[in-house]
Amino acid sequence: MKLGRAATELPAQGWQLLPLRFHRIDADSVVLTSLVGEHVLVTPGELSAVVDGTCADQDLLARLRAAHLIQVPGERLPAELLAIKLRTRMRRLPDSTGLHIFVVTLRCEHTCRYCQVSRQSAAKNEFDMTEQTARRALELAFRSPSPQLKIEFQGGEPLLNFPLVRWITAEANRMNTEHGKDLAFVIATNLALLDEEILGFCAENQVHISTSLDGPQDLHNGNRRRPGRDSWQQAVAGIRRVQERLGADRVSALMTTTEASLGRAAEVIDTYAGLGLRGVFLRPVSPYGFALRGRGGANYDVGRWLEFYAAGLDRIVELNRAGVPMVEMYASIIAKKMLTNSDPGYVDLTSPAGIGIGALVYNYDGDIYASDEGRMLAEMGDRTFRLGSVHDSSYADIMLSDALLNPLTESITLSAPMCATCAFEPYCGADPVFHHATMGDFTGHKALSAFCRRNMGVFTVLLRKMRDDPYFRDLMWRWAQ
């Protein structure tokens, strides 16, 4: 049955506001978001008319009603639907922790200018994880209630301790015959040490490879230094070998933006496309480890990074228009949060924060950290996010520790100044590690926070592009699926 216009037409003052937040994305548009992040763009005048009850634009009122921003007084269904969607967005919380990072060695044969983990010389075996430490870490990992368990090997360069990678994988598979979890393995590697034995192991165990690729050869090799100055050549050769042997979807790459990257976003994207990679994650340098040194590559501000990000996004859209599928991974995470009710659980963009709940890190020496960045801070002498040790902490000790619960409770965005009233709150996250590292407290002063400026900038870029370019809006819908 087709409903006539009269059946849904709302008279002046014929609606009431549902909980909503607003943000002016430019002089022409204000974004209104519901409790769960559904959004509608209006003009400043329309915002006044909707709040004052004088809006006569029935199409706009229908869109606001569909997005649960207004309702007819007395309706019960909108509140019930909002409640269901809110629960859906938070359903990951009882299933913590899905990602378990094993730092199997701090050794590395690269000396990357922005390295965040304070690598050690490749000859110093005392920075390797032992089987005893790994076994205890696995026992803790399998205590997690999450039905999915992803074990990620990191370093240093984890392939420098490949025997332990092999041992942990076999032991995890053995333990999983009892637990029956959806178990996955990832090796985060620069690929310089990749050989046939490792490829065969990855094929046999369905291991995913995550590598670093900063863009064109000169840019990558300038950032990521190793003997022979051939990091890019090694990475590219390794990516091709993995694609051929394991399949195109079994390798992904991450880039880090240094000041040398600025102005070269299109070249970075084209390098990825040329290698047949279908996704790129445009990331700023994180404020940890060697990145904080003068030559660490972090000498740029949020505004310049946002210009780089927008230029990269433009190039990705051009490629897609030309028939080359390419995803910007950060935008795709945000697309899910903006356009669906599912929360991808990306550690940096969740509240409560993803530390501990989303990921646990087992350092080479058995120390346990709430996040990779928490481990990086510890390498700089700040052990705030050390939750315990595999050698003397129980699962309850770790998950109920003050070192985890204090930053989680103090940084929840629904109660943080500015976040609580921010229209972007459903899309954003808490990130207490970043704010502790840069401002000295878990909440941070949001008006002065680079995390806040960067993410508000990204949300604004994405909303403007969706408003101005129907093709980009369709692309975001595809990325959200």
Partner 1 sequence: MSPAGGAAGAGADGTGAAAAGAAEITLVFDQATVDLDALQRAAYAVAAEMTADIRACGADYACTLFPRTHDTSEEELKHRFRAEVNDQILRARIAKETEPLRNLVFALAFSQTGLVEADAEGPA
What residue ranges bind partner 1 (CB under 8 A)?
A: 16-22, 24, 35, 44-45, 47-48, 51-52, 79-80, 82-84, 86-87, 90, 417-418, 421, 445, 447-448, 453
Q: Least CB distance from residue 47 to partner 1, whole Å?
A: 4
Q: Please say which residue, 106 or 422, places its beta carbon nearer to partner 1.
A: 422
Q: Which of 214, 107, 215, 80 is nearest to 164 (CA)?
A: 107
Q: Please say which residue, 49 or 347, places its beta carbon nearer to partner 1.
A: 49
Q: Least CB distance from residue 13 to partner 1, whole Å?
A: 13
Q: Please say which residue, 179 or 245, places its beta carbon nearer to partner 1.
A: 179
Q: Please say which residue, 18 or 313, places its beta carbon nearer to partner 1.
A: 18
Q: Least CB distance from residue 58 to partner 1, whole Å?
A: 20
Q: Please say which residue, 30 or 137, places its beta carbon nearer to partner 1.
A: 30
Q: Least CB distance from residue 284 to partner 1, whole Å?
A: 18
Q: Which of 164, 108, 174 is nearest to 134 (CA)?
A: 164
Q: Least CB distance from residue 397 to partner 1, whole Å?
A: 17
Q: Please say which residue, 3 or 27, places its beta carbon nearer to partner 1.
A: 27
Q: Which of 153, 32, 53, 56 is nearest to 103 (CA)?
A: 153
Q: Where are the alpha helices (DSSP H) in 255-371?
A: 265-274, 302-321, 329-339
How far apart, in whole angstroms, are the C-alpha atoms of residue 287 and residue 223? Answer: 16
Q: Which of 5, 41, 3 is nearest to 20 (CA)?
A: 41
Q: Are 296 and 376 in contact (CB under 8 A)?
A: no
Q: Least CB distance from residue 78 to partner 1, whole Å?
A: 8
How far apart, in whole angstroms, are the C-alpha atoms of residue 459 and residue 389? Answer: 38
Fill in the DSSP letter of residue 153. Answer: E
**SS3 call for 222:** helix
Q: Least CB distance from residue 35 to partner 1, whole Å?
A: 6
Q: Least CB distance from residue 293 to partner 1, whole Å?
A: 26
Helix (H), strand (E), coil (C) string for 34-89: ECCCCEEEECHHHHHHHHHCCCCCHHHHHHHHHCCCEECCCCCHHHHHHHHHHHHH
Tokens of 443: 């909440």
Q: Please say which residue, 320 or 350, places its beta carbon nearer to partner 1.
A: 350
Q: Please say which residue, 240 or 453, places its beta carbon nearer to partner 1.
A: 453
By the 10 Å C-beta count (0-12 exposed, 13-18 middle, 19+ buried), 160 is classed as buried
